[in-house]
Amino acid sequence: MVFDFEIEFTNGGGIQGQDFRMDIAGETISDKELADYLVADLRLLMVGKVNILNKFYIEEKHKRNSTQQISPDKFIDLSHVIFDGLITYKGLPAPIICDYLSREKSRANYEEGTTFQIGKIEMVTNTGTYIDCPFHRFENGKDLSEVELEAFANLDGVTIYAPHTLEIDISYFKNTEIRNKAVLIRTDWSEHWNTDQYFENHPFLTLEAAEYLRDCGVKLVGIDSHNIDDTRGNSRPVHTTLLGSEILIVEHLCNLDKLPVGNYQFSAVPPKFKGAGTFPVRAFATLL
């Protein structure tokens, strides 16, 4: 790969290069990727705008090995897609996702060729992959706006594998380092997402397991099931136990099979609404 470049720095000044040669792994490369390699290879800091010019490809034996080329995927998305009409929880209404201002109608407000869409969403807070804060269960518990950011983001994560189990008891958590961690329980029930089977006979935690997690001082508990509690009766002891100790709960996770056992951070950050205890989150893991 041969090209010219111009780099501006955010703290002033810039550099240019002509007929710069760089080894690339594939047949082609985007300007953005090329710029990223260039900045990394030259160890430049405070880089602003990068222009790649006069790009052309030449055939030469590779010098760069492929492990340097492709950075491993750092993020694992653990959230379901939320779409208009999706039922997350049996008995609760599906979200209505529509235009408040359509692209067509916005045309009148802006110059030729410029349009915007302003969406409008009507939904219950328990939609998609969501987080429960204490206010969901307790009138005087912290709501979404009151829980501190560090309770939602960059928590040390640990994955507990509990496949084909209805009642998840204490035994699954023994012999594992869980204190101060986000404990994510992989049941693989998310395979049934958006089917009738998802709502019935889903895996849940026992009261004793919830008490054990509380006593061990975990920070958050996540599960890829319909509910962390048994929904066949009217009691919700796991919600009561965990939220009563300000341990947040994330339900309807997915992709937990893509997680390592540990060595990752978990984040699930909701917007800062007052007077609401639950909200959809973009839950994800960051591999360390």
Q: Which of residues 249-288 bind Zn ion (CB under 5 A)?
A: 251
121-149 as b/e: b if 16+ CB within 10 A: eebebbbbbbbbbbbbbeeebbbbeebee
Strand partners, 4: 53
132 contributes a contact to Zn ion by CB under 5 A: yes
Q: Closest residue (Cβ) to Zn ion?
A: 132
| CB atoms closer than 10 angstroms to residue 230 | 19
47 phi and psi angles, rounded to 5 deg: -80, 130
In this chain, which stretch among 2-10, 69-77, 130-138, 191-199 interacts with Zn ion, using CB under 5 A? 130-138
Nearest approach in angstroms of CB 87 to Zn ion is 16
Nearest approach in angstroms of CB 236 to Zn ion is 8
In this chain, which stretch among 17-25, 87-95, 209-217, 245-253 interacts with Zn ion, using CB under 5 A? 245-253
Helices marked H in 111-206: 134-137
Task: Give the CB-side neighbour count of residue 259, counting CA atoms within 13 A.
Answer: 33
In this chain, which stretch among 44-52, 131-139, 185-193, 196-204 interacts with Zn ion, using CB under 5 A? 131-139
Q: Which residue number, 129 or 267, has a Cβ lying nearer to Zn ion?
A: 129
For residue 31, count CB atoms less than 10 angstroms from its CB and return exposed for 0-12, middle for 13-18, buried for 19 or more: middle
230 contributes a contact to Zn ion by CB under 5 A: no
Q: Which residue number, 132 or 230, has a Cβ lying nearer to Zn ion?
A: 132
Q: Which residue number, 173 or 279, has a Cβ lying nearer to Zn ion?
A: 279
Separation CA 86–CA 37 (nearest Å) = 41
In this chain, which stretch among 101-109, 158-166, 189-197, 246-254 interacts with Zn ion, using CB under 5 A? 246-254
In this chain, which stretch among 26-34, 44-52, 128-136, 182-190 interacts with Zn ion, using CB under 5 A? 128-136
Q: Which residue number, 34 or 251, has a Cβ lying nearer to Zn ion?
A: 251
Separation CA 42–CA 7 (nearest Å) = 11
Q: Which residue number, 47 or 207, has a Cβ lying nearer to Zn ion?
A: 207
Nearest approach in angstroms of CB 59 to Zn ion is 58
- In angstroms, how far is the first alpha carbon of the chain from the final one? 32
Q: Which residue number, 132 or 178, has a Cβ lying nearer to Zn ion?
A: 132
Separation CA 204–CA 221 (nearest Å) = 12
| CB atoms closer than 10 angstroms to residue 264 | 22
> What's the chain's length in residues?
288
What mask, x for binding Zn ion by CB under 5 A, covers residues 159 to 178?
Answer: --------------------
Query: Contact residues for Zn ion (CB under 5 A)?
Result: 132, 251
